[in-house]
């Protein structure tokens, strides 16, 4: 039976203080905001998150980078190096459910902001600490950057052309993955807190998350003891499963089982390949990829992308063209799923954002909201959340907010 939607998102009533910077933590905070949490983004007065300046391109005074991971948040500025700022921070935490932070361990300890001390003051708080290497181990004090983590984690060693140099993924994927893992951990702890009554300290490292997310390829090494070679756009354990050049465009051919291989051969008009014992099973195709892939390459190059799409669709063989962003966002599927949304900036001008992927029946999710101006909601937050009766003008003049 159809569900009657709740008036609010599933995280309504949850307050998140996002004291993180750059990408992993802010990405997590944005995700929680998309689900209905009240997310307060805390930044340093006069400076803010450095991604505000990472451009061009810019939409007004907001960089595309900052826009990508800070929607559905309120903006607060607060200087934790000042005693009054630190006290306000603690008061905000007293009224919050979750803290997202990527403080350097030494800085957090110096300011009395270690997870242990935060939980001693607020035993129901969920502290999610994100760093390059975690709070334990010989590298715990080193800064972590996505590019370096991609290199250290083994990810670059399996990315790029087989005969070329190691390559990074085209987006800061270890930051994004860590943000996703952080979201899962925060939600799990919020759920557990209902029955346990106590808070939690989450210790997430970019390196750990990057390794965990390499799933079958990392596991293949542990199982075999063999360091996997780069495969370019091919698959280590499935053949043919890679990009091929058609007569006019690139095609992804994703033959995932033996039945699909048989149907591909029929669609290609090469039934003799389906009967060839060297290629009859995936294991044999992997073992004989050196002879099979050139054959498939020659076959695919003989026809246009459009012709292959028709043949492979009729044969129910998984495939896809390789698109750029212009082609993607113009597609009917992207339009239907709201992969691009338009909001208004602080001057009323339209700004396009990447849409949230959440589609949840049974609740009404928040409408997308432009990322905040630097400190744009500070006064409102201090009045509404803390009922702070201190002279706010004095706090501004002294650089506390």
Supply the residues annotated as catalytic: 175
Nearest to 42 by CA among 377, 314, 338: 377
**Separation CA 370–CA 272 (nearest Å):** 58
**Separation CA 164–CA 319 (nearest Å):** 26
**Separation CA 356–CA 31 (nearest Å):** 8
13 backbone φψ class: left, alpha, beta (φ>0; ψ -120 to 50): left
The DSSP annotation for 168-212 comes to --SS-HHHHHHHHHHHHHHHHHHHHHHHH---EEEEEEHHHHHHH
Nearest to 253 by CA among 207, 209, 302, 313: 313
Q: How remote is the C-alpha of 96 from its chain's centroid?
A: 24
Q: Which residues contact 223 (CB under 8 A, 6 or more apart)?
A: none
| Count of CA atoms in the C-beta half-sphere (13 A) of 386 | 18
Percent composition of the chain: helix, strand, coil (DSSP 3-state, to 5): 40, 15, 45
């Amino acid at each position: 039976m159809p569900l009657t939607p709740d008036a609010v998102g599933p995280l309504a009533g949850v307050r998140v203080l996002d004291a993180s910077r750059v990408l992993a933590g802010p990405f997590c905070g944005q995700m929680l905001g998309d689900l209905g949490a009240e997310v307060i983004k805390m930044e340093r007065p006069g400076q803010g998150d450095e991604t505000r300046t990472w451009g061009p391109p810019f939409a007004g005074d907001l960089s595309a980078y900052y826009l990508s991971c800070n929607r559905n948040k309120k903006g607060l500025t607060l200087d934790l190096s000042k005693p009054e700022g630190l006290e306000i921070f603690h008061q905000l935490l007293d009224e919050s459910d979750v803290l997202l932070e990527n403080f350097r361990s030494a800085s957090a300890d110096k300011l009395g902001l270690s997870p242990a001390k935060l939980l001693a003051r607020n035993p129901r708080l969920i502290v999610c600490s994100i760093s390059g290497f975690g709070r334990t181990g010989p590298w715990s004090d080193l800064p972590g950057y996505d590019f370096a983590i991609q290199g250290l984690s083994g990810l670059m060693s399996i990315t790029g052309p087989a005969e070329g140099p190691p390559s990074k993924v085209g987006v800061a994927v270890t930051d994004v993955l860590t943000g996703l893992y952080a979201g899962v951990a925060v939600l799990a702890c919020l759920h557990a807190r209902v029955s346990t009554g106590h808070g939690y300290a989450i210790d997430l490292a970019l390196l750990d998350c990057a390794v965990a997310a390499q799933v079958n390829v990392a596991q293949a090494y542990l199982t075999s003891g063999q360091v996997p070679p780069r495969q370019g756009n091919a698959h280590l354990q499935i053949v043919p499963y890679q990009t091929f050049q058609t007569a006019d465009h690139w095609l992804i051919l994703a033959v995932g089982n033996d039945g699909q291989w048989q149907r591909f051969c029929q669609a290609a008009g090469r039934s003799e390949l389906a009967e060839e014992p060297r290629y009859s099973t995936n294991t044999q195709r992997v073992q004989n990829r050196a002879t099979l892939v050139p054959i498939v390459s020659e076959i695919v190059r003989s026809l246009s992308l459009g012709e292959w799409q028709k043949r492979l669709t009729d044969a129910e063989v998984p495939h896809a063209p390789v698109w750029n962003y212009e082609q993607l966002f113009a597609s009917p599927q992207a339009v239907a799923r709201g992969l691009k949304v338009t909001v208004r900036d602080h001057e009323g001008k339209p700004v396009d954002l990447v849409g949230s992927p959440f589609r949840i029946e049974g609740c009404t999710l928040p409408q997308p909201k432009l990322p905040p101006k630097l400190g744009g909601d500070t006064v409102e937050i201090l009045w509404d959340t803390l009922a702070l009766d201190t002279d706010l003008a004095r706090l501004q003049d002294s650089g506390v907010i």
